[in-house]
Amino acid sequence: MRIYSLLPSATEIVFALGAGHSLVGVTHECDYPEQASQIPKVTRTKIPPGISSDQIDSAVSSTLGATGSLYELDLPLLEELQPALILAQRLCDVCAVSFDSVQGAAEALKSRPRVLNLEPHSLGDILGNIRMVGEAIGRESAKTLVRSLQLRIDAIRSKTKSLSHKPRVFCMEWVNPPYCGGHWMKELVEIAGGRDDLSNPHRPSYRINWRRVLEFSPEVIVLTCCGFSLDRCEEEAEVLSKFEGVHGLPAAKAGRIFATDGSAYFSRPGPRIVESLEILAHLIHPELFPDPPVAKALSRLDLSRVGASRS
C-alpha cells in the first residue's frame, strides 16, 4: 500500500507499526523517526521563518482569513506518487493542510485514494487513531502497541490518583499571546497528578486572559508551545519574563517553570503522547517519577536570570 501522510503524528504511527517502507510522501514537518527525513516532502508552509511568536500568531490569523489554509500541497508530486491511502485530519487548520483541500486533491487522482480522517480530541482518541491506522494498513501490531501504551498510562494514574496534593499546573500552548492547553492536555495534567482549571477537556486551545492565570496562581508552568522545538521554546522565556506579575507566581518563586519540545511531544498526537505524559508526571511530581530518558525534551527556565540579563 502506498501511503501519503499529511500529519507528523500519522507518520510516527505508520513507522511504529512497522510500515514506514510504505510511506511515499510526508509533510515538511515530519522529522521522526530519522528515516522520515528521506521521504519526499509534499507540503510547504506559507508562514515565513524567523519571526516572533506574536508575529506568527498574526500571520496565522491573516493567512487563514485570506486563503483558508497555512499550507500548500505539491499537487504535481501528489499526482506522480499516486497513493492508495492519505492520512489527514479535520482537527486543526493551523496544524495541517485543510481536510477539504486534501479531499479535493484526492478526488482528482487516478489512484482514487482513500482519505482517512484522524481527529483526536482526547488521549483515548489518540489510541483509537493508532488502532484505526492499523486496521487501514493491515497491521495487527496496532493492538499490541496500544496495549503497551495503555499500561504506561495506567502505571502513572495508579501512582497519582490518591495523592492528597495535586499542584496547580498551567500548560502554555502559546506564550504571546497566551493560550492554554487544548484537547488532551487537561487530561494529561490530571493523570500526571496535577490540577488544571484553565483548559477545557477535549476542547481546542484558546487565547486566555493573563489575569485569569494570575488568579489561578499556578505552582507549575510548562511551556508546550505548538510547533516549537525545545531550543525555540526556551527563547520564549524572554517574552514570558515581561508579563505582569509572573515573577510573583508560586511557579516562578519555586523555580518550576519549564520549557519543553512541544513539537515532538505535546502537540503531536501519536505514540509519543505517552512520553509527554511521563514528562509531565516528572515535572509535577519529581519525587514520584524520575526524569524520563528522552533527549532534549525539557529544561528549567529561570525568569529572574532572564530579567537580570535584560536590565
pLDDT on residue 104? 86
> Where would I find the beta strands (DSSP E) of 135-200?
169-174, 179-180
Do 183 and 134 share a structural domain?
no
139-171 pLDDT, tens digit each: 999 999 999 999 999 999 999 999 999 999 999
Omega cis (within 30) before 269: no
**Residue 153 included in any domain:** no
Which of 99, 114, 144 delimits the end of a domain?
Answer: 144
Name the residue with higher pLDDT: 289 or 97: 289
**Residue 150 included in any domain:** no
Do 274 and 214 share a structural domain?
yes
- Is the whole model's pTM more than 0.75, yes or no? yes
Do 137 and 8 share a structural domain?
yes
Do 170 and 126 share a structural domain?
no
Name the residue with higher pLDDT: 64 or 285: 285
Contact 265, 300 (CB under 8 A): no
**Residue 98 included in any domain:** yes
Do 174 and 138 share a structural domain?
no
What is the distance between the alpha carbons of residues 23 and 4, in angstroms, rounded to a whole number?
Answer: 6
**Residue 56 included in any domain:** yes
b/e 121-154 (16+ beta carbons within 10 angstroms → b): bbbebbbebbebbbebbebeebeebbeebeeebe
b/e 20-37 (16+ beta carbons within 10 angstroms → b): bebbbbbbebbbbeeebe
CA torsion 135-137-139-144 (nearest 10°) is -50
For residue 94, give its domain range. 3-144
**Residue 149 included in any domain:** no
HSE on the CB side for 287, CA within 13 Å? 5
Give the domain CATH number at 247: 3.40.50.1980
Do 128 and 204 share a structural domain?
no
pLDDT on residue 216? 98
179-189 pLDDT, tens digit each: 999 999 999 99
Do 183 and 252 share a structural domain?
yes
Query: Poorest-confidence range of 69-83, 95-109, 236-250?
Result: 95-109
Phi-psi region of 68 (alpha: psi -120 to 50; beta: other; left: phi over 0): left
**Residue 157 included in any domain:** no
What is the distance between the alpha carbons of residues 3 and 138, in angstroms, rounded to a whole number?
Answer: 12
Do 202 and 131 share a structural domain?
no
4-44 pLDDT, tens digit each: 999 999 999 999 999 999 999 999 999 999 999 999 999 88
102-121 pLDDT, tens digit each: 888 888 888 899 999 999 99
The grid coordinates of residue 139 equal 497491521
42-82 pLDDT, tens digit each: 988 878 788 899 998 888 888 767 666 778 888 899 889 99
What is the C-alpha radius of gyration for the chain, rounded to an integer number of angstroms?
20
* Number of compact structural domains in the chain: 2
Question: Percent of the chain scored above 90 by pLDDT?
Answer: 76
What is the distance between the alpha carbons of residues 161 and 192, in angstroms, rounded to a whole number?
Answer: 9
Do 185 and 57 share a structural domain?
no
Contact 220, 283 (CB under 8 A): yes
pLDDT on residue 94? 64
Contact 118, 34 (CB under 8 A): no
Do 102 and 181 share a structural domain?
no
Residue 308 has pLDDT above 50, yes or no: no
What is the distance between the alpha carbons of residues 124 and 274, in angstroms, rounded to a whole number?
Answer: 11
